[in-house]
Structures are given as C-alpha cells and as structure tokens.
Chains A and B, each alone.
Chain A
C-alpha cells in the first residue's frame, strides 16, 4: 500500500514542488489532476528517431523521463485524473498515460454507459495506457463497474474509489463497497486526512485501513482536501514534517473491523 496526495492538495504547485512535498511527508504516491499547475500535459505525439519499436519511443519522451525522475525520488505517479471520461480518448491524453506509466482516472458519473467505458478502455489498450473508473461509496455502482472492467481488454480498466469520511461515506456500508470492487480496486482518493485528520475521528478511516492491511491491499491511497476552504492548512502541512501524535492519551472505544467476505472453496 502506498500513501500519497492528489495535486488537489496543492493545485498551484509545480510538479517538482509536489514531489518535494511528498518526500518531506514520507509519501510515496502522487496523483495529478488535469487543470492544476503541475505542468504535466498531454503529449502531442511520440518523438521520432529513438530507434526500436513504439515502446522504446514512449520511454524516450520528455514525459517518460519526467516520470522516471519522479520515481527516482521515491514517488510513484499513480494516476492522472481528467474531469470527463470523454477526455480519455484524446490522443495526447492517451500518450500521457502511456508515457508516464500512470493510469488515467475518470469519474464514472461522466460515462454515458458501459459502452462508453469500454470504448475508452479499447482506446487505452491500443495506446498502452490504462484507465481507472472513479466511483463513489455505492456498492451497486462498484459491482457494475467491476463487471465492465472484467469485459474490457485485460488490464486496461480498474477501479478507483472516491471516498469522503466527513460526508459519512465510511459510516454506512463501506465493507460492501470493498467487497463489490474486489481485486479491481487499485486507487482510493480520500477526501480529508492530512491536516483534516482530527475532524475525522470516529468516521471509519481506522476500520478502512485495518481491513486494507489485513487483505494485503497493494493499491494507492491519495489524500485530497475535503473542501478548498482547507487549502491553506494543506499548504502548511505539506511544507513541514511531523505528525499529529498517536492519541495514546485518549481512551477511545475498541474499533470494529469492516466485515470481510467469507471465503468460498
């Protein structure tokens, strides 16, 4: 499991500063979102004259070199989020995903239906890109999207879960969402955490993390502000090291684990 941030935590920072912030906080994952100041934009085309096949050409692009430098800093680009599924099929965006080796993340709410997702998946597959469909805290939706992912070319589509503890997303049937998404869940975008953690006490984040740990989940969790009102607090938090304490002086109630599906033989 990797913990990181979304560029939404610092939408005005360039990529180099986002990476520095991750290193400062000991974070190893970074999701970029379209429209922020990070400076990573879609490639117009793959460069020529690099020799070898398309794979080699992709590896030699400025985007690929950027991604490699980021990885050398101990940070993995775990997604590039676009605002609309329709953005995925633009060639520049596809090349961006393939060059960065980071999946595109698109909100399920912007898909006209499963056919639209499958069309986007085909485009991704053809370009060597990957797609994560972002769903909310609805188990029925997660299950339906998982079925679509299973129909898509192998490895081209997986799921991302947008969850907001402050909105009560983990106080309902979070276990059902995890059960429904299953192995297709690769990314969780958690609205809150960081400087907002104290306000989320009792909202189910602990139970979520415990279940992910027990299941050996190896995806990425990226933190983003729950509202732009907290951007200043995020800026301060990203600018320094240190935590908020372990709460050892508190006398909290025992935590109840999120129910895991029963094993079937």
Chain B
C-alpha cells in the first residue's frame, strides 16, 4: 500500500470495545523509537491512564491536536 509520512491510527471508525485492543496491538508492533499518531473524537485520557498502568515507562505521549472535534496524539515506544 502507498506509504505516507507517518503511521496514523484513526480509531473513530473502530467499534468502542475494540478500540483499546487495536491501539495496544499497534503500539506493541512498534520498534523502540517508533511512534504512531492516534486520531480520536474525544480526549483519550482513559487510554493514557491505561498506558500508564500497563506500559509504564515504555511510552511517550504528545498531544498534536486537542479538539474540539478531533484529538491527535503521538504515542511513541521508548
């Protein structure tokens, strides 16, 4: 498939219960130093808490866009 400049995971189209598994599967497939951009329709704070609990010290979190319609967060694997 055609390659863009960054990995972008748009979870807005993913059913609610499947979102976090898709996000963690994407994260876990990254090599250290790589990142993807999460696109969501609300602030993914619960996700951030889950990352802090389940991947403590292994991730980086940077807001690229903070609403009011779209949130974009760069999630990197340390």
Contacts and interface: CB of A to CB of B under 8 A. Distances in A.
Interface of A: 1, 3, 23-26, 178, 181-183, 185-186, 190, 193-194, 197-203, 205-207, 209-210, 212-219, 221, 223, 241-248, 250, 252-257
B24 A197 contact: no
A243 B42 contact: yes
Nearest to A3: B10
B2 A213 contact: no
B16 A216 contact: no
A218 B3 contact: yes
B15 interface: yes
B56 interface: no
Interface string B1-45: 111111111111111111111101110011000001001111010
Contacts of B58: none
Contacts of A207: 22, 25
Contact of B4 (A198, A218, A221): A218
B78 interface: no
Contacts of B1: 178, 181-183, 185, 212, 215, 217, 219
A13 to B, nearest CB: 19
30 contacts: A185-B1, A186-B2, A190-B13, A194-B13, A197-B13, A197-B14, A201-B15, A205-B14, A206-B14, A206-B21, A206-B25, A209-B9, A209-B11, A210-B29, A212-B1, A213-B26, A214-B7, A214-B36, A215-B3, A216-B7, A218-B2, A241-B68, A241-B69, A245-B42, A247-B16, A248-B20, A250-B16, A252-B20, A255-B25, A257-B25
Given A256-B25, A257-B29, A213 B36 contact: yes
A45 to B, nearest CB: 33
Contacts, number: 150
Nearest to A199: B15
Interface residues of B, number: 39
A253 B30 CA distance: 20
A206 B19 contact: yes
B6 A248 contact: no
A216 B17 contact: no
A190 B13 CA distance: 9
Given A198-B15, A206-B15, A246 B40 contact: yes
B17 A201 contact: yes
B47 interface: yes
A245 B18 CA distance: 11
Contacts of A243: 12, 40-42
Nearest to B67: A26
Nearest to A254: B21
A260 B21 CA distance: 18
